[in-house]
Copies of this chain bind each other. A is one copy, B any other.
Amino acid sequence: MLKKERHAYIMHEIDIHNKVLSSDLSLQLTVSEDTIRRDLQELDEKNMLTKVHGGALSKSFHFTLHNNTVFSQPEKKIIAQKARDLIKDGMLVLLSGGTTIIELVKSLPPELNATFITVSIPTALELLNHPNIEVIFIGNKLLKNAQMSVGAEVVQRLSEIKCDLCFLGTNSIDVENGITDLELEVIEVKRAMIRSAKKVVSLAISKKLNTTQRMLVCRLEDVDMLITELVPTEEILKPYHSKGITII
């Protein structure tokens, strides 16, 4: 079998399976692994595949490229636009942290005249870019990972206010278990946020639907609206609607 034929065979395998193992090819083509390795090396140099330890991968396997851009950006933009329409002049709005909330803040119209309260540093920073809105940060001990204030002081301060809307960037939401999260300190604050709001809006990309974390933030009954990137009539959203939640 000629080299060219082997190369064609290898590329064919790559196209079908997205990967090849040197050991497999060696058996299939009855040549030594050395030869296969040299083949893969050549094909790599021609940019036809990506050689890795043990074999090779399809070029289309590039997960490194679109990593820089925040994942699910288009979904989050759709969610942000839907959420934005709920905010009216003069409102007092409570915001959590997370990339979806950031997206929401970015999408706020410049002429909007409202007051926003948050415990998240990135959210606050983004809010400060807008000309007409007043930003209130509830401070205390800052949590490193979440980059937000936590602790009893925050809960206390939140209990003293009553907001029109509370937007929660949601990690996990499930019909059975409601909204769940990982860290106790974060949950304490989110609960306080929910208590101090007239309406609670959960923002979640559809991938987060029907997933559960270890600890409970609130039951589904405490959530007034759910915003995803899907159209509200989607099948997956039915159970949430049955529970009395407004789907947007």
Q: Which residues of A line the B interface, CB within 8 A?
A: 2-5, 7-8, 11-12, 15-19, 21, 46, 48, 50, 52-55, 57-58, 60-64, 67, 70-72, 98-99, 119, 121-122, 124-125, 127-128, 131, 134-142, 144-147, 149, 171, 182, 207-208, 211
Contact = CB atoms under 8 A, between A and B. Distances in A.
A60 B15 CA distance: 18
B52 A2 contact: yes
A65 to B, nearest CB: 9
Contact of A145 (B15, B17, B61): B61
A86 B30 CA distance: 46
User: Chain A at the B interface: mostly helix, strand, loop or mixed?
Assistant: mixed
Contact of A52 (B3, B138, B142): B3
Nearest to A120: B63
A84 to B, nearest CB: 21
Nearest to A57: B4
Contacts of A53: 2-3
A54 B141 contact: no
Contacts of A135: 141-142, 144
A64 B11 CA distance: 9
Instruction: Enumerate the 8 nearest inter-chain pairs by beta-carbon distance, A residue then B residue, closest first.
Output: A139-B139, A137-B139, A15-B71, A63-B122, A135-B142, A60-B70, A8-B63, A4-B52
